[in-house]
Homo-oligomer: A and B are copies of this chain.
Amino acid sequence: MEIEIATIGGYEEVGRQMTAVRAGTDIVIFDMGLNLSKVLIHDNIRTESMHSLDLIDMGAIPDDRVMSDLEGDVKAIVPTHGHLDHIGAISKLAHRYDAPVVATPFTNALVEQELQDEQKFGSDSELITMDSGETMSIGDSGTVDLEFVNVTHSIIDAINPVLHTPEGAVVYGLDKRMDHTPVIGDPIDMKRFREIGREGEGVLCYIEDCTNANKKGRTPSENVAREHLRDVIYSMEDYDGGIVATTFSSHIARVKSLVEFADDIGRQPVLLGRSMEKYSGTAERLDFVDFPDDLGMFGHRNSVDSSFNRIMNEGKENFLPIVTGHQGEPRAMLTRMGRGETPYELDDGDKVVFSARVIPEPTNEGQRYQAEKLLGMQGARVYDDIHVSGHLCQEGHYEMLDALQPQHIIPAHQNMKGLSGYVDLTTNQGYKLGRDVHVSSNGNIIQLV
Q: Which residues of A approach B to under 8 Å, CB–CB?
A: 12, 41, 43, 178, 180-181, 214, 216-218, 220-221, 223-224, 227-228, 231-232, 234-235, 339, 349, 361-370, 373-374, 377, 381-386, 395, 398-399, 402, 415-417, 420-421, 423-424, 427, 432-434, 438-441, 443-444
Quick one: which of B373, B385, B398, B416 contacts A416, CB cutoff 8 A? Answer: B416
User: How often does this chain occur in the complex, in copies?
Assistant: 4
List 24 contacting pairs A-B, 8 Å CB cutoff, sorted by A.
A12-B424, A43-B339, A178-B235, A180-B235, A181-B231, A216-B382, A217-B384, A220-B228, A220-B232, A223-B231, A224-B224, A361-B369, A362-B362, A362-B365, A362-B369, A363-B369, A365-B366, A383-B395, A415-B420, A416-B416, A432-B441, A432-B443, A433-B444, A434-B439
Bound form: Cα–Cα A12–B425 in Å: 12
Nearest CB in chain B to that of A43: its residue: B339
On whether the beta carbons of A231 and B235 are closer than 8 Å, the reply is: no
Q: Of residues A339, A416, A427, A438, which shows the largest number of chain B Cβ atoms within 10 Å of its Cβ?
A: A416
On whether the beta carbons of A424 and B432 are closer than 8 Å, the reply is: no
Bound form: Cα–Cα A158–B439 in Å: 33
Nearest CB in chain B to that of A402: its residue: B349
The 3 A-B residue pairs with the shortest CB-CB distance, nearest first, are A366-B366, A362-B369, A417-B420
A12 surroundings in chain B (CB, below 8 A): 424, 427
Bound form: Cα–Cα A194–B384 in Å: 26
On whether the beta carbons of B232 and A41 are closer than 8 Å, the reply is: no
Given known contacts A417-B417, A420-B417, is B227 in contact with A223 (CB within 8 Å)?
A: yes
Given contacts A218-B232, A349-B402, 13 further A-B contacts (CB under 8 A): A12-B427, A41-B370, A43-B339, A216-B382, A216-B384, A217-B386, A220-B228, A227-B227, A362-B362, A366-B369, A416-B424, A434-B441, A434-B444
A361 surroundings in chain B (CB, below 8 A): 369
Nearest CB in chain B to that of A42: its residue: B339
A178 surroundings in chain B (CB, below 8 A): 235
A439 surroundings in chain B (CB, below 8 A): 416, 433-434, 439
**Smallest beta-carbon distance A20→chain B, Å:** 17
**Smallest beta-carbon distance A205→chain B, Å:** 16
A383 surroundings in chain B (CB, below 8 A): 216-218, 395
On whether the beta carbons of A41 and B366 are closer than 8 Å, the reply is: no
Nearest CB in chain B to that of A403: its residue: B238
